[in-house]
Amino acid sequence: MQMTPAHNSQLQLSASLSGHVQKVSTCAMSSDGRWLASAGVDKKVLIWSVPDKELKCTIDGPEGHTGNITNARFSPDDRLILGTASNDSTVRIWDLTPLAQGTASTIKALQVLRGHKMVVTAVDFCPSIGSKYCVSCDGDGELRLWDFMTGHCEQVIKLVAKPVYSPNQVRYHPQNPNIVAVAIGQVLYMVQINDSKSQHRTISTNHVKHISTLDWAAQGNYLVTASEDQVCVWDTVQPAQWRVLTTHQSPKISSCVFLKSEPRNGAAGTTAGAGQSATTRLAYGDYEKIWIWTFTGNGYMRSVPLADPQAHPGAAVTALACSTSNLDGENAVVLASASAGKDGNLKLWRVLG
């Protein structure tokens, strides 16, 4: 690991989005990069146009959650399906197609998934194009597989015996619809979903604090896990031999995400299964700062934090999301960041370099 001086060379602020007046816990970008969803303590889901940098819809009231919203995730294909998880023990599925088509200014829930007994901490969609499945996990360590079109729970997997709260800790493998990575406490689980006879694999980690978030690289060959004390990058090419490639310790880490590849041939956005470049980049957030890592595949990483001014002054960077989009008239890699602050708690950045 080589640490380089702090420079503002890899992130350029594009917009500060005003809408939430309390902590933003989660943000997500659609696969085409046109839409951003954000949510948190105010129990509202805000839907933003990334190219316009404008709020297009607020989901709350009778249709919305009745508790703090913990996690949001878009389907990885070109459907505008959004899932949100909440302290109210439900997962809600939203179809944003009418909003994108300009035929509606309000959004109604496609399904409300009920069955969890505790706070639902994460939701994610199967990577197969057109799939009707998603998974969710709760504070009791219970993983559920849903048919989100019918609202039927297809499978329940109990991963731990006692409650351990870990937010945003479930991700489908981006290339294999049968593998789900789950982090509970300091432990990783590789779950063979849709196979009731298969035993999930338990992977010990060096995390001291609870793993708060994880993300896969586009091809599924790397997994990043982050806890308050450190970030770990895993080589996951061999399913039975996951190993840590590199780590970085910091006292206040709170979010991480792999960055998308640069747009090519004038096309903004990616689709499920899109490739990645030989050089992989990821971002992680801690107190006030966002760091960019560049990983060349041989274990070497270059780390550059966003310098003066800080990304989110006086607050932790609680969530990050990335896609390629049209920003300021150009195709760009766009990073969204959310924070625990009451002001300036949602921002859009152009990723440079």
The SS3 assignment for 88 reads coil
Q: How far apart are CA 144 and CA 163, in angstroms?
A: 15
Read off the DSSP letter of residue 300: -
pLDDT at 265: 44
Read off the DSSP letter of residue 200: P
pLDDT at 269: 38
| Residue whose C-alpha is closest to residue 120's, from 155, 89, 163, 93 | 89
Q: How far apart are CA 249 and CA 49, in angstroms?
A: 35
pLDDT at 3: 36
Range of 137's domain? Answer: 2-351
| Residue whose C-alpha is closest to residue 38's, from 341, 344, 343, 338 | 338
CATH of the domain at 322: 2.130.10.10
| Residue whose C-alpha is closest to residue 273's, from 323, 218, 193 | 218
| Residue whose C-alpha is closest to residue 96's, from 72, 124, 69 | 72
From first to last of the 353 residues of the chain, give the pLDDT tens digit.
Answer: 333 333 446 889 999 999 999 999 999 999 999 999 999 999 999 999 999 999 999 999 888 999 999 999 999 999 999 999 999 999 999 999 999 998 887 898 999 999 999 999 999 999 999 999 999 999 989 999 999 999 999 999 999 877 776 776 899 999 999 999 999 999 999 999 877 676 789 999 999 999 999 999 999 999 999 999 999 999 999 878 899 988 888 878 999 999 998 655 444 433 333 334 457 889 999 999 998 888 766 666 666 665 546 899 999 999 999 999 999 889 999 999 999 999 899 999 999 87
pLDDT at 231: 92
Q: How far apart are CA 159 and CA 164, in angstroms?
A: 10
Count of domains for the chain: 1
| Residue whose C-alpha is closest to residue 3's, from 289, 259, 320, 344 | 289
Q: How far apart are CA 248 and CA 29, in angstroms?
A: 26
